Structure 1
Amino acid sequence: MKKQISDRYEPTSVEPKWISRWEERKSFLPDSNASPSFTISLPPPNVTGSLHIGHALNHTVQDIITRIERKKGKATLWIPGMDHAGIATQMVVERELAKEGKKRSDFTREEFERKIWEWKEHSGGMIQNQQRLLGESVDWSRQRFTMDEGLSKAVVKVFRSLYDEGLIYRGERIINWCPKTLTAISDLEVEYRETKGKLYHLRYPIVGKPGEYAIVATTRPETLFGDVAIAAHPDDERYKKFQGAQAILPLTDRTIPILFDSFVDKEFGSGLVKITPAHDANDFEAGQRLGLKPLLVMNPDATLNEHAGKYAGLGRFVARKKIVEDLEAAGLIEKIEDHVHSVGHNSRGGEIIEPYLSLQWFCKMTSLAELAMEAVRSGETEFVPKLWEKTFFEWMNNIRDWCVSRQLWWGHRIPAYHCKNCGHTEVSESSVSACPRCGSEKVEQDPDVLDTWFSSQLWPFSTLGWPEKTPDFEKFYPTQVLVTGFDIIFFWVARMIMMGKKFTGKSPFAKVIIHGLVRDKEGKKFSKSVGNVVDPLDMMTKYGTDSFRFFLAATLPEARDVLFDESRLDGYRSFCNKIWNSSRFILMNLDEEFRKEDPETLNASDLEPMDQWILHKFDETLSKYEKAYSKFLFFEMASEIYEFVWGDFCDWYIELVKPRIYGKLGPRSREIAQQVLSDVLVRALGLLHPFMPFLTEEIYEAFGDGEFLTRTPFPKSYNVSAENEGVIKTNILQEAVKQIRVQRTENGVPLDKKCKAVLKSGNPLVAASVKDFEVSILQLARLESIQVEENYSAEKTDSVGAFRFGEVILPLAGMIDFEKEKARLEKDLQKAKQEEEKLSSKLENPNFLAKANPDVVEKEKEKLRLLKEKTDSIRKAMEKLS
């Protein structure tokens, strides 16, 4: 047995060692002999990405689950991989080319794709090395990439199947268009920002009625050339006079009809709306219903086209300014108001998104959404917390067709082939060189690629070899758990359920664990522009990875965001040091010939009360830990093991057992203490390991059996009852000492003064406990003496406090200066009252309540509650002294 560890814990030397050893020993491969299987598919980070604080939280939670299930004896597989990230990756490579004075158009499509693969080989995948630094126990031998051959095969098969069923089609619809990257983008990639703008109320002259106008408000005057009608609500009495009328489109000689339709909100604005089907999603649907032909007035780069007359060629914002000037000059503006509204931006480049009519590929979602909803309704897939199911159903019930095509060169190319001769389109899983309808060889593959989310929706089963019935697919699908943030329930989670049900007949996961976002300590979202971004690697370097991981888990409340407060990391670093130092103490005090035994094999009569107590406290912790895990309450799990290790084991048991360890109570007592200390430590390390893999693995190695902690079984219970006499006696000791310490503090008894204590109780176990633990009680509570009396009559100057087994009484006469202590308490009371008043005022301020994050408000309320408890405690202490 290696019995020594260094005198201090150094994460920078320990962590790299275990990253290498785990991989060398293939520690994270599923055990082929184990059953049942347990699978998690890691949400694939972008190939362009690096580890951010959200990844750190998400991956830590998954690793905790994976390490627990592996220790529970299951064939546990955590599948890693990366997403090809179409737009992001293409942008990165184009930026690299720009440094050389080159652009994409200087290359053929095939040449550009090779450039991206070269970049991916040399620079992509940085995040995977960072995942290793975080200690993620994924099976690296099974890592996948969404552009792998096998995954690409699955993508083409799914596209072809959906197309053959009529669920994928090509048509003109409104999409999110980025004029900078010149591609459609997904809803997820649109970031809506509150923007200060203008609301322009335009006058549309009524044909044949000089001086009469239809007043229509718009935030985008540059789109007016695409107006094809004005609409009012059928019940709006103000505009019935316009029945059958035409209006003149400002700055043109074109006329448009005034129509009536119930989609118009007559209470909004003037009650009249302009219909611009080619540049607004709602207008497009209205135009379809009313039989109006869309008119596109912008080029792909957001310059106005020939339909804009003299404004053609101008950028949309330059054109807006010029158009407004000309409208004012023509007397066609009723008024202009300041207006704050939500404007969509490309989350990757910041460009303002244009709602744009475009010929794209779409997927019909209604029937697929029903498959997903049925999986959740039936309980096949469950959201944790369950409240997210409501959000899921709201999105599914209002789902729209999905634009799956992107105008990029990087990604899965759409497997559709267009014949230039007869116009036929053939969708095929293999390359098409001749038109199957007319035989012409003038066939070209569709230039577009699929939305990145199209391939990632297949992730849980494509990574396991589907569409082939591979051994991995048969053994590890469906997966058991998905861990993700709430922000992609619709864009990814729902689609994975749809595709899993559609193509395998099974939902891809049994549970979806939804966690909040990580925000700064004020509740603000992390943002480079705000300057509050935290780099996880910096935190891991500064405090150690285990401290960082434990912090993330311990501060992850159910269904709420994590508020990142760096100051708390120092406390968890101290926790790591506490574990290390306590383990070192135990190892240093094991005999050379020591061989660890299971305490359950020891004679019960050999176990002293404190031994029985710590075994029971471990059982109690294990039970609470498992109960919290069954609900995926990671903060409760962290809290339970933290309290046990730091409090029960280190601060109480180790202190109580030291006289035995030092041989003061004989060799057999020392031997039993060694066995209990070492075994409880190892079992506690087993519970800590999922949270703190590096520290625990390093300590466990010191016991020298050659096995890695990550592969050892999950800790088991000692089965020591709370009714055990030794447990009760030690509880009495602990509660009495705690109460004495509280009374000493409340009454200002200096630490260097030993006082007397009386336990007033008729419970015979109280006397038995004091007899067994008298030396420990005197030492831990800094007492001169302690006695047990059933009928003790307290003096006026005595301090009296209740504990579960009676009363604890401290005679204070001669111990403190009463007047001096009253003065100190008065000063403390005034200070506490001032803080309480200040905090109350803050919480009564409607501006603070309106702007602050709910978590921050709750935090302030908790501070106020604790302050009130403090002032009450001070008042009670003053009353005693009076």
Structure 2
Amino acid sequence: MAMEKTFNAAEAESRLFTAWEEAGCFKAGANAKPEASTYCIMIPPPNVTGVLHMGHAFNNTLQDILIRWKRMQGFDTLWQPGTDHAGIATQMVVERQLAETGNAGRRELGREKFLDKVWEWKAQSGGTIINQLKRLGASCDFDRTAFTMSGAPGAPADEADGNFHDAVIKVFVEMYNKGLIYRGKRLVNWDPHFETAISDLEVENIETPGHMWHFKYPLAGGATYTYVEKDEDGNVTLEEERDYISIATTRPETMLGDGAVAVHPSDERYAPIVGQLCEIPVGPKEHRRLIPIITDEYPDPDFGSGAVKITGAHDFNDYQVAKRGGIPMYRLMDTKGAMRADGAPYSEEAGKAQAHAKGAEFTENEVDAINLVPDDIRGLDRFEARKLVVQQITDEGLAVMTTRETGVEWDDGTKETETVPMVENKPIMQPFGDRSKVVIEPMLTDQWFVDAEKVVGPALEAVKGGKVKILPESGEKTYYHWLENIEPWCISRQLWWGHQIPVWFDAEGNQYCAATEAEAQAQAGEGVVLTRDPDVLDTWFSSGLWPIGTLGWPNWSEDTSKYFPTSTLVTGQDILFFWVARMMMMQLAVVDDIPFDTVYLHGLVRDAKGKKMSKSTGNVMDPLDIIDEYGADALRFSSAAMAALGGVLKLDMKRIEGYRNFGTKLWNAVRFAEMNEVYANGAPSREIPNASATVNQWIIGEVAKTRETVDAALEGFRFNDAANALYAFTWGKVCDWYVEFAKPLLNSDDDAIKAETRATMGWVLDQCMILLHPIMPFITEELWGQTATRDGMLVHEDWPTYGTDLVNADADREMNWVIQTIEATRSTRAQMNVPAGAKIPMVVTEITETNDAAFTANEALIFKLARVESLTKVDAFPKGTATIAVDGATFGLPLEGVIDVAAEKARLEKSLGKLAKELGGLRGRLNNPKFVASAPEEVVTEAKANLQAREEEESKLKDALSRLAELD
């Protein structure tokens, strides 16, 4: 049956993927050669709530290219798929679903029934992204799909057999018993909507309109000092007596929890009052706390007043200052972000210790009288409390005042002014929960932590010692920076969906850590009433065990343990610390081995202009829509082509369309071969053809060079180089040149040459399919099956190992010289605006003997493809001849009477004049330091790209004009 005219991706892709799965093509070890080495990739588990986005499509395409390539090479491969239980995201989805259906909420249902609802949702919708990955062509062993909550209590039968929960609990207990996990009070990102701690990765810092208020903190006991400001030359510009120190804040509601005011040690303005006490100017005067004025390197003397309030329980920078200086920290808010109404008692011990440390004295009555949150602010939302605090301070006259013009001008020219509180309107970076969309509150809470300093050493040494390679190398520097400055890792979350902390408490607060309640009870003793910690583990803790957890640890089997350590991890650079580093720490701590030997990091997929994709910008691209329109192969090839190591990932719809056309070009070349009886006798031989014709010898060598280039590129994770080499070879060398060069041979009267050319063309096109398969699996598999009855599917075809010893040097030189001559002639015709259909004579003044023979041997091809009608040797070019210089020859095209030289000059000069204006504008923008410094990065990049393109265009036009000048 003759091939269809075009490849129907919409019909073929699902059919082919089903055929692959039914044949077991993706199973671990499929197509492995005897005694083969293993090659294992662990998929970065997408959230079970997720749907395929461009980041997933790009990331998984690169993984699939590697795994298909290694599988065809005969490695014992495993691409391990799975999903993450996504604590907050999943809980949010199910709670929203309950609300929309009018069912009882989470708290009304209770923990057990709510978790039943989550498992129901997971069974119905949790496999969405896995099915979407199949549409992309991901060749994972889907029979082994893992889930980070498999085997957890309450899991349904189909999830109960998994081992992941047992692995997570075992690791927690072991690390707890080794003193690597502890419970403590530290500052964390707190989401008031979900009422849980969250990771830095779940925080979006967004610039929003804000205010900076300036307030006075009166010195204790009415003390005063001389405040002096000086200019750069040391001249006094301001000198006055003050009884206060001023601070600036964007969060006045947190003033109630201040522990100190800090100034820089070098700031001479405040030297007289360092060590003294000042009063927090909020709340009833009889209950106001006195706090010390201290020195620390953190304040910037040149920013604001140079003095900053230290609120250690509600600011990460302040927290570090408070730790360094032994400053008390007071949590002001409840879990919903409202001002506490439970008394928030001041720590008498901490207050006394702090007072004595700073040389001040408190009476017990003063300490007892302190109440952090005044009655009129208790229970208020933090932003409502902010308004009240600002109003109270202003009404009391403790706002720093400034003079401003009212806009009224008197008859004598003077302008009316007024004195108002000093409030700066300025943009501030505000932290928002990426899912809740509410402002995140730094909060001092009791959480569970991994003592990261105790487990970070081996993870650092593994990279420094070369056991693990991070690509690009810039990722290693980031890795070192994070791990060398690591803080305790908060692993607890105040959620219900997740691995519940395996710790029980008795009435006195003693802790009992065990894998089961029975074991905890045995530790506590009979009759002791225990209560389990309600918190669950952060998903980064469980996903940190992804390599060993999915392979069955601690119940290793020969079938699974052979794939550990795994081989390559392909992931985003944004989770280098959150996931990659933690997998390194966890695997080394648990099984004393690295989890993988290579980490390939990539950035965010951006739009064609390099701009980050976002719904608000309207530039989000849905990979499923792209697959529907252009097919998965086009999207995959585009992903590979933009994957330069460390480069910016710009997804251009025009390029995707172009790669679909590339697939069509290959399809048409194979159809041409079919129509010329290349497949008349069945599948082409796998043996390399024994060719005699120069054209056939040449193309065999081109195949060999391409194979070596592709392998070297993939070994170096230069996916773009592999894609570009395949594109240039398949479209340029095979579909354009070889198909044209082969036509005379296929139409030859010499049956032996016809048979040789059919055999060569069949082998070459098969090699195209094989080499392209990892990137474009669908169209290549379809062509493989349609052209002949094969003894196996392309997905399991052996990857070639031939090398450049197949290159015939004479054939390579001859045919590449012929191509150079044709291309140079075409380029000259285009520059001179020679009518496309015009066949014109060609002359030559000098040519080497070897090239003369090459021209003669390929004369018919050159005449046809360059559209010339004859070649004449001359001593000198006649007037009006455009010269064409190629290696070892100088040709000319006599154009007198063929083109209007004057008209062509005028056309080119007009184009150059228009281009000069564009170039002037672009150069002016890029030479403007303000534009380069202030314009968005993608705008500057686009301007530079436009300038380069216009300069190249200008160069071509000038070259053409120069050629025309030679014709006069």
Q: Is the shorter-chain TM-score for this pair beyond 0.5, marking a shared fold? A: yes
Indicate conservation of the 8 Å contact 2:469/2:597, yes or no.
yes
Indicate conservation of the 8 Å contact 2:568/2:600, yes or no.
yes
User: Which residue pairs with 2:288 in the alignment?
Assistant: 254
- For residues 143 and 378 of structure 2, what CA distance do their matches in structure 1 show? 56
| SS of the residue 1:590 aligns to | coil
**773 and 879 in structure 1: CA distance in 2 versus 1, 3 angstrom threshold:** same
Which has the larger displacement, 791-800 or 221-230?
Answer: 791-800
- For residues 314 and 686 of structure 2, what CA distance do their matches in structure 1 show? 75
- For residues 43 and 684 of structure 1, what CA distance do their matches in structure 2 show? 31
| SS of the residue 2:598 aligns to | strand
Alpha-carbon shift at residue 842 of structure 1 (Å): 3.6
Q: Aligned pairs, how many?
A: 874
Q: CA deviation digits over 1:9-62, x for unaligned, max 9?
A: 111111111110010001011336531000000000000000001111101111
| 1:281 and 2:282 matched | no
- For residues 686 and 191 of structure 2, what CA distance do their matches in structure 1 show? 67
- For residues 689 and 264 of structure 2, what CA distance do their matches in structure 1 show? 86
| 1:228 and 2:259 matched | yes
Alpha-carbon shift at residue 761 of structure 1 (Å): 4.0
**Paired residue for 2:447, among 360, 363, 366?**
360
- For residues 293 and 827 of structure 1, what CA distance do their matches in structure 2 show? 76
| 1:518 and 2:518 matched | no
TM alignment of 1:131-280, pairs within 5 A: 131-149=133-151, 150-209=163-222, 212-252=243-283, 253-267=287-301, 268-280=303-315
User: Which residue pairs with 1:328 in the alignment?
Assistant: 394
**Paired residue for 1:632, among 706, 711, 717?**
717
| 1:685 and 2:687 matched | no
Alpha-carbon shift at residue 723 of structure 1 (Å): 5.4
- For residues 300 and 20 of structure 2, what CA distance do their matches in structure 1 show? 67
In structure 2, list runs of 5 or more residues that go unmatched. 152-162, 224-241, 342-371, 401-421
Indicate conservation of the 8 Å contact 2:311/2:318, yes or no.
yes
Alpha-carbon shift at residue 858 of structure 1 (Å): 4.6
- For residues 187 and 264 of structure 1, what CA distance do their matches in structure 2 show? 22
Which has the larger displacement, 45-54 or 98-107?
Answer: 98-107
Indicate conservation of the 8 Å contact 2:252/2:386, yes or no.
yes
Alpha-carbon shift at residue 877 of structure 1 (Å): 2.5
Indicate conservation of the 8 Å contact 2:181/2:451, yes or no.
yes
| SS of the residue 2:220 aligns to | coil
- For residues 597 and 684 of structure 2, what CA distance do their matches in structure 1 show? 39
Indicate conservation of the 8 Å contact 2:679/2:762, yes or no.
no
Indicate conservation of the 8 Å contact 2:571/2:602, yes or no.
yes
Alpha-carbon shift at residue 583 of structure 1 (Å): 0.8
User: Which residue pairs with 1:118 in the alignment?
Assistant: 120
Alpha-carbon shift at residue 746 of structure 1 (Å): 1.4
Q: What one-letter code is carried by the residue in structure 1 that aligns with 2:395?
A: A
Alpha-carbon shift at residue 759 of structure 1 (Å): 4.1
Which has the larger displacement, 456-465 or 582-591?
Answer: 582-591
Q: What one-letter code is carried by the residue in structure 2 that aligns with 1:279?
A: H
Q: CA deviation digits over 1:396-450, x for unaligned, max 9?
A: 1121111100000000001101112x32111112223636245334111110000
| SS of the residue 1:530 aligns to | coil
Alpha-carbon shift at residue 503 of structure 1 (Å): 1.7
| SS of the residue 2:704 aligns to | helix
Alpha-carbon shift at residue 711 of structure 1 (Å): 0.5
Alpha-carbon shift at residue 629 of structure 1 (Å): 1.4
User: Which residue pairs with 2:111 in the alignment?
Assistant: 109
| SS of the residue 1:393 aligns to | helix
Alpha-carbon shift at residue 708 of structure 1 (Å): 0.8
| SS of the residue 2:455 aligns to | helix
**Paired residue for 2:430, among 323, 335, 343?**
343
Alpha-carbon shift at residue 236 of structure 1 (Å): 3.1
Work out the percentage of aligned pairs sharing the same amino acid: 39
Which has the larger displacement, 290-299 or 216-225?
Answer: 290-299
- For residues 767 and 937 of structure 2, what CA distance do their matches in structure 1 show? 43
Q: CA deviation digits over 1:77-119, x for unaligned, max 9?
A: 1000000000000000000011133311111211111100000
Q: What's the Cα RMSD here?
A: 1.9
User: Which residue pairs with 1:668 in the alignment?
Assistant: 752
User: Which residue pairs with 1:15 in the alignment?
Assistant: 13
TM alignment of 1:446-461, pairs within 5 A: 446-461=533-548
Indicate conservation of the 8 Å contact 1:732/1:805, yes or no.
no
- For residues 941 and 45 of structure 2, what CA distance do their matches in structure 1 show? 29
In structure 1, list runs of 5 or more residues that go unmatched. none
Alpha-carbon shift at residue 355 of structure 1 (Å): 0.3
User: Which residue pairs with 2:926 in the alignment?
Assistant: 843
- For residues 430 and 205 of structure 2, what CA distance do their matches in structure 1 show? 5
Indicate conservation of the 8 Å contact 1:178/1:351, yes or no.
yes
User: Which residue pairs with 1:59 in the alignment?
Assistant: 60
* TM score, norm. by length of structure 2: 0.88
Indicate conservation of the 8 Å contact 1:615/1:720, yes or no.
no
Q: What one-letter code is carried by the residue in structure 2 that aligns with 1:202?
A: F
User: Which residue pairs with 2:156 in the alignment?
Assistant: none
| SS of the residue 2:221 aligns to | coil
- For residues 760 and 487 of structure 1, what CA distance do their matches in structure 2 show? 61
**796 and 465 in structure 1: CA distance in 2 versus 1, 3 angstrom threshold:** same
**622 and 43 in structure 1: CA distance in 2 versus 1, 3 angstrom threshold:** same
Alpha-carbon shift at residue 601 of structure 1 (Å): 5.7
User: Which residue pairs with 2:736 in the alignment?
Assistant: 651
Indicate conservation of the 8 Å contact 2:190/2:197, yes or no.
yes
Q: What one-letter code is carried by the residue in structure 1 that aligns with 2:456?
A: A
User: Which residue pairs with 1:308 in the alignment?
Assistant: 373
Indicate conservation of the 8 Å contact 1:299/1:305, yes or no.
yes
| SS of the residue 1:558 aligns to | coil
Q: CA deviation digits over 1:157-208, x for unaligned, max 9?
A: 1111211121111011111001000000011101111122111111111122
User: Which residue pairs with 2:966 in the alignment?
Assistant: 880
Indicate conservation of the 8 Å contact 1:458/1:496, yes or no.
yes
- For residues 357 and 212 of structure 1, what CA distance do their matches in structure 2 show? 32
Indicate conservation of the 8 Å contact 1:86/1:451, yes or no.
yes
Q: What one-letter code is carried by the residue in structure 2 that aligns with 1:18?
A: L
Alpha-carbon shift at residue 347 of structure 1 (Å): 0.7
Alpha-carbon shift at residue 719 of structure 1 (Å): 4.2
| 1:28 and 2:19 matched | no
Indicate conservation of the 8 Å contact 2:503/2:511, yes or no.
yes
Indicate conservation of the 8 Å contact 2:698/2:808, yes or no.
no
| SS of the residue 1:251 aligns to | coil
Indicate conservation of the 8 Å contact 2:492/2:536, yes or no.
yes
User: Which residue pairs with 1:85 in the alignment?
Assistant: 86
User: Which residue pairs with 2:830 in the alignment?
Assistant: 745
Alpha-carbon shift at residue 557 of structure 1 (Å): 2.5
**Paired residue for 1:810, among 890, 893, 899?**
893
Alpha-carbon shift at residue 154 of structure 1 (Å): 1.1
**603 and 614 in structure 1: CA distance in 2 versus 1, 3 angstrom threshold:** closer
Alpha-carbon shift at residue 706 of structure 1 (Å): 3.9
**Paired residue for 1:551, among 627, 638, 648?**
638
Indicate conservation of the 8 Å contact 2:689/2:760, yes or no.
no
Indicate conservation of the 8 Å contact 1:843/1:861, yes or no.
no
- For residues 274 and 790 of structure 2, what CA distance do their matches in structure 1 show? 91
Alpha-carbon shift at residue 630 of structure 1 (Å): 2.0
Alpha-carbon shift at residue 451 of structure 1 (Å): 0.3
| SS of the residue 1:509 aligns to | coil
* TM score, norm. by length of structure 1: 0.96
- For residues 294 and 42 of structure 1, what CA distance do their matches in structure 2 show? 42
